[in-house]
């Protein structure tokens, strides 16, 4: 199965400032950075600069952890793992459902990179274990399944025709066919 190449960090670290840049800024410029990053806006210049630097360090750590996860998720797994993930991807493409998670902005969602899914599922050893992890660990707590077409009235839910049994039936057909 082909999957995405290892994740490469792009310009996700833009708007990162050095201590020299921050020291050269005036109060209103620093407060604008605080406002953009939704940080506490009070304090002396040295305190504000330290707050911005600490925030940036936390952001860098998050990006580094995410990069590691995506890079590891891109690694080829066992033949059984690849078959399970292939069935999952084929089912998603066939049924036009995508895995999403909460986005950076409030009340927003973003697609989950397939390598993140692969990384989180890397220890599974059977299709049943995939279902257990997907439905009991991740779905509706960390991940959400949405139809690719936002105007589509199909909703993945236990009270809907588009539910776990429907997904398992479709994935089982794909898995057993290969």
Percent over 90 (pLDDT), the chain: 65
What is the predicted pLDDT for the residue at 74? 92
CB 135 within 8 A of CB 88: no
Tell which of 53, 71, 89 closes a domain: 71
Same domain? For 102 and 157 the reply is yes
Q: Specify if 53 maps to a domain.
A: yes
Sorted by sequence, the CB contacts under 8 Å of residue 130 that are 6+ apart come out as 84, 88, 121, 124
Q: What is the pLDDT of residues 112-144, one digit of tens each?
A: 999 999 999 999 999 999 999 999 999 988 999
The residue out of 34, 51, 71 marking a domain boundary is 71
Does residue 3 form part of some domain?
no
Number of domains in the chain: 2
3-state secondary structure the chain: CCCCCCCCCCHHHCCCCCHHHHHHCCHHHHHHHHHHCCCCCCCCHHHHHHHHHHHHHHHHHHHHHHHHHHHHHCCCCCHHHHHHHHHHHHHHHHHCEEEEEECCCCCCEEECCHHHHHHHCCCCCCHHHHHHHHHHHHECCCEEEEECCCCCCCCCCCCCCCCHHHHHHHHHHHHHHC
Identify the CATH number of the domain in which residue 36 sits: 1.10.720
Of 13-17, 26-30, 61-65, 70-74, the least confident: 13-17
- The answer, yes or no, to whether residue 6 has pLDDT greater than 70, is no
Based on the fold, state whether residues 123 and 42 are members of the same structural domain: no
The model carries a pTM of 0.70
Mean pLDDT value across the chain: 87
The pLDDT of residue 54 is 94
Name the residue range of residue 43's domain: 11-71
Q: Which residue has the higher pLDDT, 97 or 4?
A: 97
């Amino acid at each position: 199965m082909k999957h995405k190449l290892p994740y490469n960090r792009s310009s996700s670290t833009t708007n990162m400032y050095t201590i020299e840049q921050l020291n050269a800024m005036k109060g209103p410029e620093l407060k604008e950075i605080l406002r953009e990053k939704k940080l506490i806006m009070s304090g002396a210049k040295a305190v504000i600069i330290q707050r911005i630097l600490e925030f940036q360090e936390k952001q860098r750590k998050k990006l580094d952890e995410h990069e590691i996860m995506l890079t590891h998720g891109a690694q080829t797994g066992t033949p059984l793992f690849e078959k399970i993930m292939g069935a999952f991807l084929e089912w998603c493409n066939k049924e036009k459902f995508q895995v999403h998670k909460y986005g950076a902005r409030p009340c927003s969602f973003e697609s989950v990179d397939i390598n993140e899914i692969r990384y989180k599922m890397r220890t599974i050893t059977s299709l049943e274990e995939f279902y257990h992890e997907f439905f009991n660990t991740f779905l509706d707590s960390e991940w959400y399944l949405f139809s690719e077409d936002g105007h589509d009235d199909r909703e993945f839910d236990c009270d809907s025709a588009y539910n776990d049994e429907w997904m398992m039936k479709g994935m089982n057909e794909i898995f057993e066919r290969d």
